[in-house]
């Protein structure tokens, strides 16, 4: 996961700012490795699960940010990966990561086949301020597969704070069974199913027709667009946005693969 910019530090409660829901981070703590204890595992799809960690000294994060996770074997071998944070910012001392079980994946394989509550890993962050949403501007979120993870942090923040700023989510998956967080989606979400769907539900990739209602009904000042997914999906979605009239400088893209 590329990091265009780094913003690190502590969580500042939204109530201190004039704009409802806005949060900011300072410049402390993110450069230090911390111990994270796995407390729960929640299955999302046949190949994706959410892992909840207790991190007592976690400094807070902005929705959309990610962290670095480090595993260390008994022989001293280490493996590090960047993972988006799925949970909304709060002061509970917990964070959540949702991981696909990648075939041959060294770290994701360990989480999906070995990890149990009580296991400990190390985390450092939060990282990247480019893809972060502070909660103070209309947000149009577009994700595919596990690209929905940082976007869900934004949706959860929006709900947790009872924000009225417009927020919409388009999420693409091959089938209903592969739709991560399917149980949590509400009226702000439009699923796009590309391979199979219940009877009467259209099947196909994201098109201009999915974006048209959102662009026609855009809020005053327009959208800040966030796109996350594979390289191919990110390019496709970004081109659709530009063709629909979204300013290029108001499209934030995070891609993987």
Q: pLDDT digit string (tens) for 123-132? A: 999 998 899 9
The predicted structure's pLDDT at residue 10: 28
Q: Is 221 left (phi over 0), alpha (psi -120 to 50) or beta?
A: left
pLDDT of residue 2: 37
Whether residue 96 has pLDDT greater than 80 = yes
Q: Which two tokens stand for residue 4?
A: 């265009």
Whether 246 and 162 map to the same domain: the answer is yes
Of the CA atoms within 13 Å of residue 20, those in its CB half-sphere come to 10
98 domain-assigned? yes
> What is the average pLDDT across 105-120?
97
The reply to whether 203 and 110 lie within a common domain is no
- Same-domain pairing of 152 and 249: yes
Does residue 90 belong to any structural domain of this protein? yes
| pLDDT category of residue 162 using cuts at 50, 70 and 90 | very high
Per-residue confidence band for 16, with pLDDT thresholds at 50, 70 and 90: very low
Q: What value does the mean pLDDT take over residues 226-240?
A: 97
* Residue 6 pLDDT class (50, 70, 90 cuts): very low
Say if residues 245 and 160 touch (Cβ distance below 8 Å). no
CATH number assigned to the domain comprising residue 162: 3.40.50.80
Which residue segment(s) compose the domain that 166 sits in? Answer: 139-256
| 8 A C-beta contact, residue 251 and residue 218 | no
Last residue of a domain, one of 127, 156, 171: 127
What pLDDT is attached to residue 76? 93
What does the angle CA 46 – CA 48 – CA 53 come to, to the nearest 5 degrees? Answer: 135
Give residue 8's pLDDT band: very low, low, confident or very high (50, 70, 90): very low
Residue 14 has pLDDT above 70, yes or no: no
Please check whether residues 74 and 22 belong to one and the same domain: yes
Q: Which two tokens stand for residue 110?
A: 């360990």
* Whether residue 102 is found in the same domain as residue 16: yes
pLDDT attached to residue 243: 98
Q: What is the pLDDT of residue 222?
A: 97
Does 4 score more than 60 pLDDT?
no
pLDDT score of 257: 65
Question: 18-22, 27-31, 51-55, 193-197: lowest mean pLDDT where?
Answer: 18-22
Q: How confident is the model at residue 24 (pLDDT cuts 50, 70, 90)?
A: low
Helix (H) or strand (E) holding 52: strand 48-54
What's the confidence (pLDDT) of residue 31?
Answer: 83
Q: Domain total for the chain?
A: 2
Burial of 102 from C-beta contacts in 10 A (0-12 / 13-18 / 19+): middle
- The CATH number for 78's domain is 2.40.30.10
The residue assigned the tokens 């400990």 is: 120
The predicted pLDDT at position 221 comes to: 93
Shared domain check, 105 and 24 = yes
- Tell me the pLDDT of the chain averaged across its residues: 89
Do 148 and 122 share a domain, yes or no? no
Give the pLDDT mean for 112-123.
98
Report whether pLDDT(17) > 60. Answer: no
Task: Say if residue 126 is preceded by a cis peptide, omega within 30 of 0.
Answer: yes
Residues 118 and 160 in one domain: no
Domain membership flag for residue 134 = no
Note the pLDDT of residue 29. Answer: 63
Same domain for 96 and 17, yes or no, is yes
Residues 54 and 145 in one domain: no
Q: In sequence order, which residues have a C-beta less than 8 Å from that of residue 83 and are 6 or more positions away? A: 1, 66, 67, 69, 97, 99
Q: How many CA atoms lie within 13 A of 159 on its CB side?
A: 15
pLDDT category at 20 given cuts 50, 70, 90 is very low
- Given this model, what pLDDT does residue 28 score? 57
């Amino acid at each position: 996961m590329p990091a265009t910019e780094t913003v690190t530090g502590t969580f500042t409660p939204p109530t201190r700012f004039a704009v409802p829901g806005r949060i900011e981070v300072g410049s402390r703590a993110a450069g230090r490795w911390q111990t994270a204890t796995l407390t729960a595992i929640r299955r999302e799809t046949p190949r994706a699960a959410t892992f909840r960690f207790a991190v007592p000294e976690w400094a807070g994060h902005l929705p959309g940010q990610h962290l670095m996770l480090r595993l260390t074997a008994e022989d001293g071998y280490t493996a590090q990966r960047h993972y988006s944070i799925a949970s909304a910012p709060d002061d509970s001392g917990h964070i959540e990561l949702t991981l696909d079980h990648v075939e041959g994946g060294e770290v994701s394989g360990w989480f999906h086949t070995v990890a149990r509550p009580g296991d400990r890993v190390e985390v450092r962050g939060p990282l990247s301020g480019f893809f972060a949403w502070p909660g103070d501007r209309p947000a149009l979120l577009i994700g595919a597969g596990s690209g929905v993870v940082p976007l869900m942090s934004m949706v959860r923040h929006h709900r947790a704070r009872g924000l009225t700023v417009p927020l919409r989510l388009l999420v693409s998956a091959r089938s209903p069974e592969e739709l991560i967080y399917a149980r949590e989606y509400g009226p702000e979400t439009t699923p796009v199913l590309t391979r199979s769907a219940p009877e009467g539900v259209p099947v196909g990739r994201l098109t201009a027709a999915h974006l048209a209602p959102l662009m026609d009904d855009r809020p005053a000042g327009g959208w800040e667009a966030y796109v996350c997914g594979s390289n191919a999906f990110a390019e496709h979605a970004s081109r659709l946005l530009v063709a629909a009239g979204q300013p290029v400088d108001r499209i934030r893209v995070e891609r993987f693969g």
